[in-house]
Amino acid sequence: MLGNPRRVEHIMGFPISVDIRATTSPLGSAVDHAFDWLREVDARFSPFRADSEVSRLNRAELTPAELSDDFIEVLAVCRRYEERSGGAFSVRLPGRGLDPCAVVKGWAVQRAAEALMDAGARRFCVNAGGDVVAAGGPWRVGIRHPDRIDQLCAVLAVEDAAVATSGRYERGDHILDGRTGEPATGLKSITVVADTLTIADTTATAAFALGADGPEWAAAQPGCEVFAVTENDRVFRSAGLPTG
Amino acid sequence: MKKTIPVLLLTAGGFIWLWQYEPTPHTETAVVAQAEAPAPAAGSATRTLTGTEVAAGRHGIVQVQVVLTDGSITEVQVLRAPATKPTEEALPTLREEALSAQSADIDTVSGATMTSEAYAESLQAALDAKGA
């Protein structure tokens, strides 16, 4: 029916898996197009590529009037979460210029998932380096143990939802508290379940930047459920967390 | 009636302060006392007054009820109290959580953004290989 229901490609420096279990029509090249879109996003939004829109904006080669609609949409999400988190979440840090990576990934993968839905995919899962969009379901989503790469610390059962995790264990102190410019402290990892990966990923990143107050803050965001592990190995679960 | 209003304000304010996780400034709405029962007949001097709900900063809602006997407060009841922020010590430990998750049959794994280098030894790689 599907030919190749599961595929993994490496884009933006992380593995992206697409796992399709049910579709209403042959998907044809829809999966190819989803991966093409993610490669296009990398080319346009990577601060590590000199010819990306982000890099050109940072070098003042683009005026705000020349920005693409996609870019403006991403910046609007960035601003919303900067405000909501009281500045803890920030995409403008001294010495770095503008780096919207924290928003781009979830936003781009969410859009790829929506394109698969439009093509007929009904029960499928996209996992982009640990951030998940689950369509249909229920899908059993394990949460990686913050200290052990080959172990879990919780299991969720999610249906038509997105799951994103922020933590320090994979790439060191890459999340800074925008209020201080220092690496965020207080949490080992925080996982957010929300309707879209744009919301889940950005909320998880902002909550991690907030540190000890992050879990409560994230749980208070509309439609968000939270699982978090503090630096002292205590586990926070929001009341509506969909446990598996 | 008028005399009871400052009393109610102080009472609600006192409770709010107790529930503050950290003493931060908060705005309060005015508490308006409302007689629950019709005005008492002559000779009886007990009245129950219920304050309106008061926002206790970002922690929730407080509402108190005061019973007055001969003009003095004889009883205070908390009708609504904010959920307090759990102290970290009250939360379960990761060890307890992890043990219950190990035998799970799962479809995919959520974790902090994994680089392509780390992928090879991850649970997700094993799941992808199993389903390919």
- As a whole number, mean pLDDT of residues A191-196 equals 98
Q: How far apart are CA A59 and CA B21, in angstroms?
A: 45
* pLDDT above 60 for A122: yes
Q: Which residues of A touch B84 (CB under 8 A)?
A: none
Q: Do A130 and B113 touch (CB under 8 A)?
A: yes
Q: Which residues of A touch B57 (CB under 8 A)?
A: none
**B68-121 confidence digits (pLDDT tens):** 888 788 777 777 665 555 677 788 888 877 777 766 789 999 999 888 888 888
pTM, entire model: 0.76
Q: Of chain B residues 21-80, which have a CB less than 8 A from chain A?
A: none
- As a whole number, mean pLDDT of residues A170-189 equals 85
Query: What does the DSSP 8-state code read for residue B5?
Result: H
Q: How far apart are CA B33 and CA A30, in angstroms?
A: 64
* pLDDT above 70 for B34: no
| 3-state SS class at B43 | coil
Mean pLDDT of chain B: 67
Q: Do A13 and B115 touch (CB under 8 A)?
A: yes
Selecting from A14, A144, A232 the residue whose C-beta is nearest the C-beta of B110 gives: A144
Q: In Å, how far from its chain's centre is CA A209? A: 15
Asked whether the beta carbons of B48 and B66 are under 8 A apart, the reply is yes
| Residue of chain A whose alpha carbon sits nearest to that of B98 | A153
**A66-109 confidence digits (pLDDT tens):** 999 999 999 999 999 999 989 888 887 676 777 888 899 999 99
pLDDT for B86? 61
Q: How far apart are CA A85 and CA A103, in angstroms?
A: 14
**Percentage, residues of chain A above pLDDT 70:** 95
Closest chain B C-alpha to A61 CA, distance in angstroms: 31
pLDDT for B56? 59
pLDDT for B44? 63
Q: Quick one: pLDDT band at residue B43, thresholds 50, 70, 90?
A: low
CA end-to-end span of chain B, whole Å?
A: 76
pLDDT for B25? 42
* pLDDT above 50 for A45: yes
Asked whether the beta carbons of A121 and A20 are under 8 A apart, the reply is yes
